[in-house]
Amino acid sequence: MKQSADVINNIVSVLQESLPTDKDFIALHEPSFQGNEWNYVKDCLDTGWVSSVGKYVDRFEEMLQEYTGVKRAVAVVNGTAALHICLKLVGVERNDEVLLPALTFIATANAISYCEAVPHFVDSCYETLGLDPIKLGDYLQDIAEVKDGACYNKQTGRRIKAVLPMHTFGHPVDLDTLVEVCDRFNLELIEDAAESLGSFYKGRHTGNWGRVSALSFNGNKITTTGGGGAILTNDDSLGQLAKHLTTTAKVPHKWEFVHDHIGYNYRMPNLNAALGCAQLEMLHQFVQEKRALASVYQKAFSPIDEVSFFIEPKFATSNYWLNVIRVSTEWSFLRDEILQTTNDLGLMTRPVWRLLCDLPIYTSAPKMELTVARDLEKTIINIPSSSYLGAAYAKA
Protein backbone atom coordinates (compact mmCIF):
# COMPACT_ATOMS: atom_id res chain seq x y z
CA MET A 1 0.00 0.00 0.00
CA LYS A 2 1.25 3.46 -0.91
CA GLN A 3 2.52 5.49 2.03
CA SER A 4 1.78 9.13 2.79
CA ALA A 5 5.38 10.10 2.10
CA ASP A 6 5.14 8.55 -1.36
CA VAL A 7 2.08 10.62 -2.26
CA ILE A 8 3.69 13.84 -1.05
CA ASN A 9 6.97 13.08 -2.82
CA ASN A 10 5.13 12.41 -6.08
CA ILE A 11 3.34 15.76 -5.89
CA VAL A 12 6.56 17.59 -5.09
CA SER A 13 8.35 15.84 -7.97
CA VAL A 14 5.70 16.92 -10.47
CA LEU A 15 5.93 20.53 -9.34
CA GLN A 16 9.72 20.57 -9.39
CA GLU A 17 9.85 19.00 -12.85
CA SER A 18 7.21 21.38 -14.24
CA LEU A 19 8.62 24.63 -12.83
CA PRO A 20 11.91 26.57 -13.20
CA THR A 21 14.87 25.19 -11.29
CA ASP A 22 16.84 28.44 -11.08
CA LYS A 23 14.67 30.03 -8.37
CA ASP A 24 14.76 29.52 -4.61
CA PHE A 25 11.12 30.56 -4.30
CA ILE A 26 8.22 30.37 -6.74
CA ALA A 27 5.20 32.45 -5.78
CA LEU A 28 1.62 31.34 -6.17
CA HIS A 29 0.91 34.19 -8.58
CA GLU A 30 2.95 37.28 -9.29
CA PRO A 31 2.46 40.13 -11.77
CA SER A 32 4.33 40.30 -15.07
CA PHE A 33 5.51 43.64 -16.46
CA GLN A 34 6.84 43.12 -19.98
CA GLY A 35 5.16 45.83 -22.02
CA ASN A 36 4.48 49.54 -21.82
CA GLU A 37 3.98 49.77 -18.06
CA TRP A 38 7.03 52.00 -17.45
CA ASN A 39 6.18 54.27 -20.41
CA TYR A 40 2.54 54.83 -19.46
CA VAL A 41 3.18 55.35 -15.75
CA LYS A 42 6.05 57.71 -16.54
CA ASP A 43 3.72 59.67 -18.81
CA CYS A 44 1.38 60.20 -15.85
CA LEU A 45 4.27 61.40 -13.70
CA ASP A 46 5.67 63.66 -16.43
CA THR A 47 2.30 65.29 -17.14
CA GLY A 48 1.12 65.41 -13.53
CA TRP A 49 -2.10 63.52 -14.29
CA VAL A 50 -1.82 60.93 -11.53
CA SER A 51 -5.15 61.14 -9.70
CA SER A 52 -8.83 60.96 -10.63
CA VAL A 53 -8.61 62.72 -14.01
CA GLY A 54 -6.56 61.71 -17.04
CA LYS A 55 -6.66 59.99 -20.39
CA TYR A 56 -5.75 56.53 -19.17
CA VAL A 57 -8.97 55.96 -17.20
CA ASP A 58 -11.10 56.45 -20.32
CA ARG A 59 -8.71 54.37 -22.39
CA PHE A 60 -8.69 51.57 -19.84
CA GLU A 61 -12.49 51.44 -19.79
CA GLU A 62 -12.62 51.39 -23.60
CA MET A 63 -10.10 48.53 -23.74
CA LEU A 64 -12.16 46.53 -21.25
CA GLN A 65 -15.30 47.09 -23.31
CA GLU A 66 -13.55 45.96 -26.48
CA TYR A 67 -12.05 42.84 -24.90
CA THR A 68 -15.08 41.64 -22.95
CA GLY A 69 -17.73 42.76 -25.45
CA VAL A 70 -19.81 44.68 -22.89
CA LYS A 71 -21.34 48.05 -23.70
CA ARG A 72 -19.97 49.85 -20.65
CA ALA A 73 -17.05 49.40 -18.26
CA VAL A 74 -16.49 51.66 -15.25
CA ALA A 75 -13.08 51.55 -13.57
CA VAL A 76 -13.03 51.71 -9.76
CA VAL A 77 -10.55 51.39 -6.88
CA ASN A 78 -10.93 47.64 -6.27
CA GLY A 79 -13.11 44.61 -6.95
CA THR A 80 -14.96 44.89 -3.65
CA ALA A 81 -16.04 48.44 -4.49
CA ALA A 82 -17.21 47.15 -7.87
CA LEU A 83 -19.32 44.47 -6.18
CA HIS A 84 -20.78 47.00 -3.73
CA ILE A 85 -21.95 49.28 -6.51
CA CYS A 86 -23.24 46.35 -8.58
CA LEU A 87 -25.51 45.36 -5.70
CA LYS A 88 -26.79 48.90 -5.30
CA LEU A 89 -27.39 49.26 -9.04
CA VAL A 90 -29.81 46.31 -9.12
CA GLY A 91 -31.68 47.55 -6.04
CA VAL A 92 -30.38 45.38 -3.19
CA GLU A 93 -31.65 46.97 0.01
CA ARG A 94 -31.40 46.54 3.76
CA ASN A 95 -32.57 43.07 4.93
CA ASP A 96 -32.72 41.66 1.40
CA GLU A 97 -31.11 38.26 0.97
CA VAL A 98 -28.49 37.69 -1.73
CA LEU A 99 -27.57 34.16 -2.74
CA LEU A 100 -23.86 33.40 -3.12
CA PRO A 101 -21.54 30.40 -2.88
CA ALA A 102 -20.24 29.54 0.57
CA LEU A 103 -16.95 28.77 -1.18
CA THR A 104 -15.74 32.18 -2.31
CA PHE A 105 -13.45 34.99 -1.21
CA ILE A 106 -14.71 37.10 1.68
CA ALA A 107 -15.23 40.18 -0.54
CA THR A 108 -18.29 38.60 -2.16
CA ALA A 109 -20.12 38.41 1.17
CA ASN A 110 -18.72 41.66 2.57
CA ALA A 111 -20.09 43.66 -0.35
CA ILE A 112 -23.54 42.31 0.49
CA SER A 113 -23.08 43.34 4.12
CA TYR A 114 -22.11 46.87 3.03
CA CYS A 115 -25.66 47.15 1.68
CA GLU A 116 -26.99 45.95 5.06
CA ALA A 117 -28.32 42.93 3.19
CA VAL A 118 -28.03 39.27 4.24
CA PRO A 119 -25.70 36.74 2.59
CA HIS A 120 -27.49 33.44 1.91
CA PHE A 121 -24.97 30.67 1.25
CA VAL A 122 -25.45 27.94 -1.36
CA ASP A 123 -23.51 24.90 -2.54
CA SER A 124 -20.92 24.52 -5.29
CA CYS A 125 -20.50 21.87 -7.96
CA TYR A 126 -17.51 19.73 -8.91
CA GLU A 127 -17.64 20.63 -12.62
CA THR A 128 -16.94 24.35 -12.13
CA LEU A 129 -15.93 24.76 -8.45
CA GLY A 130 -18.54 27.52 -8.44
CA LEU A 131 -22.20 27.89 -7.56
CA ASP A 132 -24.36 24.90 -8.57
CA PRO A 133 -27.43 26.30 -10.41
CA ILE A 134 -29.29 22.98 -10.51
CA LYS A 135 -29.04 22.52 -6.74
CA LEU A 136 -29.97 26.16 -6.31
CA GLY A 137 -33.12 25.75 -8.40
CA ASP A 138 -34.21 22.71 -6.37
CA TYR A 139 -33.45 24.52 -3.12
CA LEU A 140 -35.45 27.60 -4.10
CA GLN A 141 -38.35 25.39 -5.13
CA ASP A 142 -38.52 24.26 -1.50
CA ILE A 143 -37.81 27.47 0.44
CA ALA A 144 -38.92 30.32 -1.82
CA GLU A 145 -42.11 31.74 -3.28
CA VAL A 146 -42.70 34.40 -5.89
CA LYS A 147 -45.40 36.93 -5.14
CA ASP A 148 -46.11 40.38 -6.53
CA GLY A 149 -43.14 39.99 -8.88
CA ALA A 150 -40.58 39.35 -6.14
CA CYS A 151 -38.99 36.26 -4.59
CA TYR A 152 -39.36 35.68 -0.85
CA ASN A 153 -37.78 33.24 1.57
CA LYS A 154 -40.70 31.39 3.20
CA GLN A 155 -38.53 30.59 6.22
CA THR A 156 -37.33 34.12 7.01
CA GLY A 157 -39.94 36.27 5.28
CA ARG A 158 -37.20 38.33 3.66
CA ARG A 159 -37.03 39.22 -0.02
CA ILE A 160 -34.41 37.29 -1.99
CA LYS A 161 -33.24 39.93 -4.43
CA ALA A 162 -30.22 38.60 -6.31
CA VAL A 163 -27.80 35.78 -7.06
CA LEU A 164 -24.07 36.54 -6.94
CA PRO A 165 -22.02 33.66 -8.41
CA MET A 166 -18.23 33.83 -8.48
CA HIS A 167 -16.23 32.32 -11.36
CA THR A 168 -13.83 30.39 -9.14
CA PHE A 169 -10.16 30.62 -10.12
CA GLY A 170 -11.28 31.86 -13.53
CA HIS A 171 -13.60 28.96 -14.41
CA PRO A 172 -17.09 30.13 -15.49
CA VAL A 173 -20.16 28.74 -13.76
CA ASP A 174 -22.99 27.20 -15.80
CA LEU A 175 -24.47 30.53 -16.79
CA ASP A 176 -27.30 29.38 -19.06
CA THR A 177 -28.79 27.19 -16.34
CA LEU A 178 -28.30 29.94 -13.75
CA VAL A 179 -30.06 32.49 -15.97
CA GLU A 180 -33.02 30.12 -16.23
CA VAL A 181 -33.18 29.82 -12.43
CA CYS A 182 -33.02 33.60 -12.05
CA ASP A 183 -35.81 34.06 -14.58
CA ARG A 184 -37.97 31.45 -12.86
CA PHE A 185 -37.64 33.10 -9.45
CA ASN A 186 -37.41 36.76 -10.52
CA LEU A 187 -33.86 37.20 -9.25
CA GLU A 188 -31.24 39.67 -10.40
CA LEU A 189 -27.99 38.07 -11.63
CA ILE A 190 -24.69 39.75 -10.73
CA GLU A 191 -21.49 38.02 -11.85
CA ASP A 192 -18.50 38.19 -9.56
CA ALA A 193 -15.99 37.93 -12.41
CA ALA A 194 -13.10 39.14 -10.24
CA GLU A 195 -10.95 36.15 -11.20
CA SER A 196 -12.16 35.50 -14.74
CA LEU A 197 -10.79 38.24 -17.00
CA GLY A 198 -9.77 36.28 -20.10
CA SER A 199 -12.33 33.49 -19.54
CA PHE A 200 -15.13 32.69 -21.97
CA TYR A 201 -18.42 30.84 -21.56
CA LYS A 202 -19.55 29.25 -24.84
CA GLY A 203 -17.38 31.71 -26.75
CA ARG A 204 -18.55 34.85 -24.97
CA HIS A 205 -16.62 36.58 -22.20
CA THR A 206 -17.82 36.29 -18.62
CA GLY A 207 -19.60 39.37 -17.35
CA ASN A 208 -22.13 39.41 -20.17
CA TRP A 209 -24.85 37.38 -18.43
CA GLY A 210 -25.36 39.35 -15.25
CA ARG A 211 -27.22 42.62 -15.41
CA VAL A 212 -24.02 43.98 -13.90
CA SER A 213 -20.69 42.28 -13.20
CA ALA A 214 -17.50 43.00 -11.29
CA LEU A 215 -13.80 42.58 -12.15
CA SER A 216 -10.71 42.83 -9.95
CA PHE A 217 -7.20 44.02 -10.85
CA ASN A 218 -5.49 43.29 -7.55
CA GLY A 219 -1.76 42.58 -7.70
CA ASN A 220 -2.31 38.82 -7.90
CA LYS A 221 -4.83 38.85 -10.77
CA ILE A 222 -4.09 37.95 -14.39
CA THR A 223 -3.72 41.67 -15.14
CA THR A 224 -3.18 44.25 -12.43
CA THR A 225 -3.55 47.96 -11.84
CA GLY A 226 -1.89 47.59 -8.43
CA GLY A 227 -5.31 47.83 -6.83
CA GLY A 228 -8.42 48.26 -8.89
CA GLY A 229 -11.65 46.88 -10.23
CA ALA A 230 -14.33 47.52 -12.79
CA ILE A 231 -18.09 47.35 -13.20
CA LEU A 232 -19.33 45.79 -16.45
CA THR A 233 -22.83 46.13 -17.90
CA ASN A 234 -24.76 45.97 -21.18
CA ASP A 235 -27.29 48.46 -19.82
CA ASP A 236 -26.27 51.98 -20.88
CA SER A 237 -28.35 53.66 -18.18
CA LEU A 238 -26.85 51.48 -15.44
CA GLY A 239 -23.38 52.17 -16.80
CA GLN A 240 -24.00 55.89 -16.66
CA LEU A 241 -25.34 55.62 -13.11
CA ALA A 242 -22.37 53.47 -12.08
CA LYS A 243 -19.96 56.13 -13.30
CA HIS A 244 -21.94 58.81 -11.48
CA LEU A 245 -22.17 56.98 -8.15
CA THR A 246 -18.49 56.01 -8.14
CA THR A 247 -17.37 59.60 -8.75
CA THR A 248 -19.10 61.03 -5.64
CA ALA A 249 -22.36 61.62 -7.57
CA LYS A 250 -21.19 65.10 -8.53
CA VAL A 251 -23.34 66.86 -11.12
CA PRO A 252 -21.01 68.11 -13.90
CA HIS A 253 -20.29 71.84 -13.63
CA LYS A 254 -17.24 74.03 -14.13
CA TRP A 255 -17.11 75.10 -10.48
CA GLU A 256 -20.28 74.25 -8.50
CA PHE A 257 -20.30 71.35 -6.03
CA VAL A 258 -23.73 69.76 -6.40
CA HIS A 259 -24.21 66.08 -5.55
CA ASP A 260 -27.59 64.46 -6.26
CA HIS A 261 -27.08 61.00 -4.68
CA ILE A 262 -25.14 59.55 -1.80
CA GLY A 263 -22.05 58.88 -3.87
CA TYR A 264 -18.80 57.00 -3.35
CA ASN A 265 -15.23 58.06 -3.96
CA TYR A 266 -14.49 54.81 -5.78
CA ARG A 267 -12.93 56.17 -8.98
CA MET A 268 -9.73 54.60 -10.23
CA PRO A 269 -6.73 56.99 -10.35
CA ASN A 270 -5.16 57.70 -13.72
CA LEU A 271 -1.85 56.27 -12.48
CA ASN A 272 -3.42 52.87 -11.86
CA ALA A 273 -5.32 52.96 -15.13
CA ALA A 274 -2.07 53.63 -17.01
CA LEU A 275 -0.64 50.44 -15.57
CA GLY A 276 -3.85 48.64 -16.50
CA CYS A 277 -3.71 49.77 -20.13
CA ALA A 278 -0.25 48.29 -20.52
CA GLN A 279 -1.38 45.08 -18.84
CA LEU A 280 -4.43 44.70 -21.07
CA GLU A 281 -2.16 44.99 -24.10
CA MET A 282 -0.47 41.81 -22.81
CA LEU A 283 -3.61 39.93 -21.76
CA HIS A 284 -3.77 37.64 -24.79
CA GLN A 285 -0.18 36.52 -24.14
CA PHE A 286 -0.83 36.04 -20.43
CA VAL A 287 -3.82 33.78 -21.16
CA GLN A 288 -1.83 31.74 -23.67
CA GLU A 289 0.99 31.22 -21.19
CA LYS A 290 -1.34 30.27 -18.35
CA ARG A 291 -3.24 27.80 -20.50
CA ALA A 292 0.04 26.27 -21.65
CA LEU A 293 1.12 25.83 -18.02
CA ALA A 294 -2.23 24.22 -17.20
CA SER A 295 -1.76 21.72 -20.04
CA VAL A 296 1.65 20.75 -18.67
CA TYR A 297 0.26 20.31 -15.18
CA GLN A 298 -2.66 18.25 -16.46
CA LYS A 299 -0.36 15.77 -18.18
CA ALA A 300 2.19 15.68 -15.36
CA PHE A 301 -0.36 14.96 -12.61
CA SER A 302 -2.35 12.38 -14.59
CA PRO A 303 -0.30 9.35 -13.38
CA ILE A 304 -0.87 10.22 -9.71
CA ASP A 305 -4.06 8.50 -8.59
CA GLU A 306 -4.25 10.31 -5.26
CA VAL A 307 -4.65 13.77 -6.78
CA SER A 308 -6.43 15.19 -9.81
CA PHE A 309 -5.72 18.37 -11.75
CA PHE A 310 -8.83 20.49 -12.25
CA ILE A 311 -9.74 20.97 -15.93
CA GLU A 312 -11.93 23.75 -17.28
CA PRO A 313 -15.66 22.96 -17.69
CA LYS A 314 -16.62 21.59 -21.11
CA PHE A 315 -18.55 24.75 -21.99
CA ALA A 316 -15.70 27.13 -21.10
CA THR A 317 -12.35 28.44 -22.23
CA SER A 318 -10.78 29.46 -18.94
CA ASN A 319 -7.88 31.74 -18.07
CA TYR A 320 -6.67 29.23 -15.44
CA TRP A 321 -5.97 32.15 -13.11
CA LEU A 322 -5.02 29.80 -10.27
CA ASN A 323 -4.33 26.19 -11.04
CA VAL A 324 -5.98 23.61 -8.80
CA ILE A 325 -5.18 20.10 -7.73
CA ARG A 326 -7.64 18.13 -5.65
CA VAL A 327 -6.47 15.50 -3.21
CA SER A 328 -8.79 12.49 -3.28
CA THR A 329 -11.19 12.30 -0.35
CA GLU A 330 -9.37 9.19 0.91
CA TRP A 331 -6.10 11.12 1.12
CA SER A 332 -7.50 14.52 2.12
CA PHE A 333 -5.95 14.15 5.59
CA LEU A 334 -2.63 14.89 3.84
CA ARG A 335 -3.67 18.35 2.63
CA ASP A 336 -1.95 20.37 5.34
CA GLU A 337 1.19 18.24 5.18
CA ILE A 338 1.35 18.79 1.41
CA LEU A 339 0.99 22.52 1.96
CA GLN A 340 3.71 22.52 4.62
CA THR A 341 6.15 20.46 2.57
CA THR A 342 5.77 22.41 -0.66
CA ASN A 343 6.04 25.80 1.03
CA ASP A 344 9.12 24.66 2.98
CA LEU A 345 10.69 23.82 -0.38
CA GLY A 346 9.99 27.26 -1.81
CA LEU A 347 6.99 26.18 -3.86
CA MET A 348 4.13 28.42 -2.75
CA THR A 349 0.83 26.57 -2.45
CA ARG A 350 -2.30 27.42 -0.54
CA PRO A 351 -5.66 25.94 0.47
CA VAL A 352 -8.97 27.24 -0.77
CA TRP A 353 -10.86 29.74 1.39
CA ARG A 354 -12.60 28.61 4.55
CA LEU A 355 -16.34 28.37 3.94
CA LEU A 356 -17.75 31.81 4.71
CA CYS A 357 -20.70 30.43 6.65
CA ASP A 358 -18.21 29.03 9.19
CA LEU A 359 -16.61 32.40 9.91
CA PRO A 360 -17.86 33.96 13.17
CA ILE A 361 -19.24 37.01 11.33
CA TYR A 362 -21.51 34.87 9.12
CA THR A 363 -22.50 31.85 11.21
CA SER A 364 -26.04 33.17 11.66
CA ALA A 365 -26.61 33.69 7.94
CA PRO A 366 -29.03 31.34 6.13
CA LYS A 367 -27.52 28.46 4.16
CA MET A 368 -28.47 25.33 2.29
CA GLU A 369 -26.78 21.95 2.67
CA LEU A 370 -23.18 22.39 1.53
CA THR A 371 -21.99 18.85 0.80
CA VAL A 372 -19.84 19.64 -2.23
CA ALA A 373 -18.45 22.91 -0.88
CA ARG A 374 -17.29 21.17 2.29
CA ASP A 375 -15.57 18.44 0.27
CA LEU A 376 -13.87 21.01 -1.97
CA GLU A 377 -12.73 22.94 1.09
CA LYS A 378 -10.91 19.86 2.38
CA THR A 379 -9.34 18.76 -0.89
CA ILE A 380 -8.36 21.82 -2.99
CA ILE A 381 -4.77 23.01 -3.21
CA ASN A 382 -3.72 25.92 -5.42
CA ILE A 383 -0.32 25.55 -7.06
CA PRO A 384 2.03 28.11 -8.70
CA SER A 385 0.23 29.80 -11.58
CA SER A 386 2.13 32.94 -12.68
CA SER A 387 1.93 33.51 -16.42
CA TYR A 388 5.71 33.55 -16.88
CA LEU A 389 5.84 29.94 -15.67
CA GLY A 390 4.10 28.90 -18.89
CA ALA A 391 6.05 31.15 -21.26
CA ALA A 392 8.45 28.48 -22.49
CA TYR A 393 5.62 25.95 -22.90
CA ALA A 394 3.53 28.46 -24.88
CA LYS A 395 6.39 28.94 -27.35
CA ALA A 396 7.06 25.23 -27.75
Give the residue numbers marked as catalytic. Answer: 221
The span from the CA of 63 to the CA of 236, in Å, is 17
Answer whether 121's CB lies under 8 Å from 367's CB.
Answer: yes
136, exposed or middle or buried, with CB in 10 Å at 0-12, 13-18, 19+? buried
Q: Residue 157 CB: number of other CB atoms within 10 A? A: 8
C-alpha distances (whole Å) from 29 to each of 34, 127, 215, 337 are 16, 23, 17, 21
CB 121 within 8 A of CB 370: yes
3-state secondary structure (DSSP) of residue 128: coil
Which strand (E) or helix (H) includes residue 120? strand 118-122
Closest alpha carbon to 326 in 309, 301, 348, 347? 309
Distance in angstroms (rounded) separating the CA atoms of residues 263 and 152 = 29
The span from the CA of 100 to the CA of 111, in Å, is 11
- Which of helix, strand or coil describes residue 342? helix
In contact, 367 and 120? CB cutoff 8 Å? yes
Residue 155 φ then ψ, to 5° = -85, -35
Which amino acid, residue 319? N
Angle of the 270-281 helix axis to the 55-68 helix axis, nearest 10: 40
